[in-house]
Amino acid sequence: ASKFFQFPDHNQTKFEYIHIPCLKRKTRQEIRQLFRSLKINTSRVLDISYPGRNIIGILVHQHYLPHINTMLQEANIPTLKNFDPIHQI
């Protein structure tokens, strides 16, 4: 029982944003609906944000990252590598 009352290992759970370009802004519900149509498990998408103009940020757990990247590649959806919302193009 004493193991339960320990500090969590912060290296254990890591999350990452995937940044995707988009033509226009849609609601989070519409984005999730589009993901479902692509057979992406939306319960694995923890957050959808708009960090820049025509950019969607999707927060996922690092264990789900390879799977969602594969699904996006199969659907020919580009992802932005090394996107920095402070230093946009």
3-58 pLDDT per residue, tens: 777 776 666 668 999 999 999 889 999 999 999 999 999 999 999 999 988 999 99
What's the rounded Cα separation, in Å, for the pair 24 and 50? Answer: 11
Burial of 13 (0-12, 13-18, 19+ CB in 10 A): exposed
Predicted pLDDT of residue 49: 94
Strand segments, DSSP code E, in 1-89 are 15-21, 45-52, 55-61
Is the per-residue pLDDT at 83 higher than 80?
Answer: yes
| Tens-place pLDDT, residues 51-82 | 988 999 999 998 999 999 999 999 999 999 88
